[in-house]
Amino acid sequence: MLDKLSGPRIESADLYDWDELVQEDRVHRLIYTDPAIFQAEMTNIFGAVWVYLGHESQIPKNDDYITVRLGLRPIILLRDGNGKIRALFNRCTHRGTTLCRKEKGNARIFTCPYHGWSYLNTGKLRAVPWPDGYACDFKDAKFNVAQVPRVDSYRGFIFATLNPDAPSLLDYLGAITKPIDEWLDRQPNGKVAVCEANRLKFKGNWKLAYDNSGDGYHVVFSHRSLLEMENRQADVANKGMSYYRGSPDTKPMYMAYMGNGHHFKDKRPNIQKRAGGLWAVEGPAPGSEHYQEELRRRFGARAEDILDLASSEPVNINVFPNFSLLGNHIQVFEPVSVDETNVTWYGTAVVDDDGALGGAVDEINALRMRTQEQFPNFGEVDDLANFEEIQRGLACLEDEWIYMHRGLGIPGRVKIDEHGIITAPATDEAFMREYIKEWKRLMKASPNLAVQREV
């Protein structure tokens, strides 16, 4: 049963003149600071479009669950007894308390801690204590847990939307599926398993992180200490993101805007195309040297391919509004309030179902995990510090505008191909201007969100 929303609502379209707030070359500070805009985003963005919730490898068995968020809505993402993936609102239909307070587990039944109503993991109400105190019919579907009506996966990545009118997930992802496919297809069997995570938070608006996720302009300035650390003991000073040094716009890397708010920073053309090319630019992980020595001893020439599997792929694949693939990590942006955001970096592991890696899978994954010590630990904190300082700077009420016009108006610099994909040199802000146009389009809309209940 599809439950269309019937209560009062504030129309985001009426809040502001959105064309005034988002212009061709600049945006108004309010889009990062206004609580009313943030509230509207929880419907018009984190509700109306496909939002990343989790990965299938986090709920591998029937009845497995994890607790996540869709915007601010607490969600139990689970695989029911028939293997169907569902995103249940983590909310008791009686008085609204959360049903499940654990991060993950395996359960066929969720029992509300408040008054003991219990539900099957299909969302159906199973029993209420002392039902003879009620005159109603508990078979009425309105007592079943609300769930997100559309949940779909793309090659293991699970997305959900409350918008019955949204395009299919495949259409929504569109051209960004190509780099996602390439990211997956370099892994054995084209898949990964999601591991534990670095959990970080910053006092700033979630869009600051999404703006930055394709920003090639800041790297040598903001991440100078990381670049110096990675290269301090290297024989050749080409580790990590060294290719941003000098004049980055003359390097073969580029930014691309892929439609529907998705953007892509492709730094792979900077890397030598040879076995071991990726591993050669990986920064040092002191204490792990014996792993690579052992792999080289056991596998000879093949060790270089194996070591590449442990390396980070130099891409930023950003799926609007909350998901990035970068290095060999998954980054998830989670809005908390207008000026607070969680960013979670999940490690990913290689899976060797058919033994093609000759028993090296544990060593690969051990080395791969150590890559967390490069950008995720020592680079991301630079970015978060910037985001917090932007939010502080935006408290200057009278200085209203934020500029994103790098590359705008220079003939021939920004290119568009026959599929509408926009490319520009690595430091351009074209991706920012394009995604924020899409954001504006969505903020002007009046999506008809709905929840599903079992019948």
**Which residues of this protein are in contact with ligand FES, per CB under 6 A?**
92, 94-95, 97, 112, 114-117
Cα(107)–Cα(180) distance, integer angstroms: 32
Least gap, CB of 118 to ligand FES (angstroms):
9
Using CB under 5 A as the binding rule, whether residue 211 contacts Fe ion is answered as no
Cross-strand pairs, 106: 64
CB nearer to ligand FES: give 130 or 355: 130
CB nearer to ligand FES: give 115 or 392: 115
Least gap, CB of 166 to Fe ion (angstroms):
31
Cα(287)–Cα(107) distance, integer angstroms: 40
Distances (CA, A) of 232 to 228, 238, 270, 316: 6, 11, 21, 25
For residue 112, the partner it binds in ligand FES, Fe ion, none, with Cβ less than 5 to 8 A by kind, is: ligand FES
Least gap, CB of 119 to ligand FES (angstroms):
9
Cross-strand pairs, 337: 340
- Per CB under 5 A, the segment of 123-131, 243-251, 380-388, 444-452 that binds Fe ion is 380-388
Least gap, CB of 93 to ligand FES (angstroms):
8
Cα(183)–Cα(328) distance, integer angstroms: 9
Least gap, CB of 208 to Fe ion (angstroms):
11
Angle in degrees, 0-180, between the axes of helices 289-299 and 303-310, rounded to the nearest 10 = 150
Distances (CA, A) of 249 to 236, 264, 378, 406, 446: 22, 16, 24, 12, 40
Pairing of strands 323-327, 262-266: unpaired
Least gap, CB of 94 to ligand FES (angstroms):
4
CB nearer to ligand FES: give 95 or 274: 95
CB nearer to ligand FES: give 145 or 184: 145
Using CB under 5 A as the binding rule, whether residue 383 contacts Fe ion is answered as yes
Q: Helix or strand or coil: residue 435? A: helix
Least gap, CB of 115 to ligand FES (angstroms):
3
Least gap, CB of 341 to Fe ion (angstroms):
15
Cα(138)–Cα(136) distance, integer angstroms: 6
DSSP state of 233: T
Distances (CA, A) of 398 to 28, 219, 296: 11, 29, 61
For residue 92, the partner it binds in ligand FES, Fe ion, none, with Cβ less than 5 to 8 A by kind, is: ligand FES
CB nearer to ligand FES: give 117 or 299: 117
CB nearer to ligand FES: give 45 or 92: 92
CB 100 within 8 A of CB 65: yes
DSSP state of 206: H
CB nearer to Fe ion: give 41 or 383: 383
For residue 129, the partner it binds in Fe ion, ligand FES, none, with Cβ less than 5 to 8 A by kind, is: none
In the numeric block, which tokens belong to residue 219?
């790297």
Cα(387)–Cα(390) distance, integer angstroms: 5
For residue 115, the partner it binds in Fe ion, ligand FES, none, with Cβ less than 5 to 8 A by kind, is: ligand FES
In the numeric block, which tokens belong to residue 4?
């269309």
Least gap, CB of 322 to Fe ion (angstroms):
17
CB nearer to ligand FES: give 101 or 199: 101
Amino acid at 429: E
Alpha carbon dihedral 305, 310, 313, 319, in 10-degree steps, equals 130
For residue 221, the partner it binds in ligand FES, Fe ion, none, with Cβ less than 5 to 8 A by kind, is: none
Using CB under 5 A as the binding rule, whether residue 282 contacts Fe ion is answered as no
CB nearer to Fe ion: give 80 or 383: 383
For residue 383, the partner it binds in ligand FES, Fe ion, none, with Cβ less than 5 to 8 A by kind, is: Fe ion
Q: List residues binding Fe ion (CB under 5 A).
A: 383
